[in-house]
Amino acid sequence: MPLVCLTDFEAHAREQLSKSTWDFIEGGADDCLTRDDNIAAFKKIRLRPRYLKDVSKVDMRTTIQGEEISTPICIAPTGFHCLAWPDGEMSTARAAQAAGICYITSTYASCSLEDIVATAPGGLRWFQLYVHPNRQLNKQLIQKVESLGFKALVITVDAPKIGNRRHNITNQVNLMKNLLLKDLGSPEKGNLMPYLQMSPIDSSICWDDLSWFQSITRLPIILKGILTKEDAELAVKHNVHGIIVSNHGGRQLDEVPASIDALTEVVAAVKGKIEVYLDGGIRTGNDVLKALALGAKCVFLGRPILWGLAYKGEHGVEEVLNILKNEFHTSMTLTGCRSVAEISRDLIQFSRL
């Protein structure tokens, strides 16, 4: 039977993957309230379609940080893609390149950055950084990704400490040790990524440290994990180029707002000065439309990409992206939007249910 929606891929992945791998991918923090609310919050928003408009041609293209993408649906940074498919991030990168969208590669990639770039040399790539306590190692890695053609640096801000992920504790998951210890070498010998992946995240980083990052790279800096207007205003003040509204898929601090619920105040706070994106809970084309109507420039997919990988590697990711892209095209057509620029707040209302 063909898989026709993203939840079909979820069900297939659950059957296909080992319990510990499934729990690692799907698990959230504590009671998983935020993880589940990310999805449920979209269902509280209703659409207000406009008819008798010429929608014979619908253009889904947009830009992020000045680069054109075919649709405002991109790939969020998630780690250890080789858990879902042997080629891991290389398959993901090829699928993103074929789709004409952006792929944010994680610090915890299970393939080397060189291999990821070589397998999809024409793809639009951003790099997600977990800040290491050693500044020199951060500098080496940032200079490396810049030289490899990555177009933006995405700094994750919501993980000064790893959230309380009960499934990982129950399953005694130590992915870093199991996947990376065999490759661990001295960073002086050029084996930088495994060394960084085995190391702690810097819990001392603060707003004033951003100027140091800006001093060592020409790449635009995006902050991932902002949920409040106060932090959004500080992001603008510190001259970052964008924000990803995100709660880490509900994997860090439980009982924070769903991403879509936090989006409105962040968008209002930046006053159009920087681009705002969203990840968390995107499962349908309607979800994409709702996020854009509330001010997101594009959305990023996390878990559904791993479900696609588990199905058929690169081709499974392509199927996930195509399904969502086709659904989004339908959503635009049936609400009277001929271009992404026509998607506005007037298209949605919040349900009283």
Binding residues: 77-79, 106, 128, 130, 156, 165, 224, 246, 248, 251, 279-283, 302-303
Say which residues have a Cβ less than 8 Å from residue 121's Cβ, sequence separation at least 6: 149
Can you say which residues are annotated as belonging to the binding site for FMN?
77-79, 106, 128, 130, 156, 224, 246, 279-283, 302-303
Do the beta carbons of residue 266 and residue 226 sit within 8 Å?
A: yes
Q: What is the DSSP code string of 39-108?
A: HHGGGGEEE----SS--SS-B--EEETTEEESSSEEE---S-GGGTSTTTHHHHHHHHHHHT-EEEE-TT
Residues forming the active site: 248
Say which residues have a Cβ less than 8 Å from residue 18's Cβ, sequence separation at least 6: none
Can you say which residues are annotated as belonging to the binding site for glyoxylate?
165, 248, 251
Distance (Å, whole) CA 274 – CA 283:
26
> By C-alpha distance, which of 262, 316, 350 is closest to 99?
316
Do the beta carbons of residue 243 and residue 276 sit within 8 Å?
A: yes
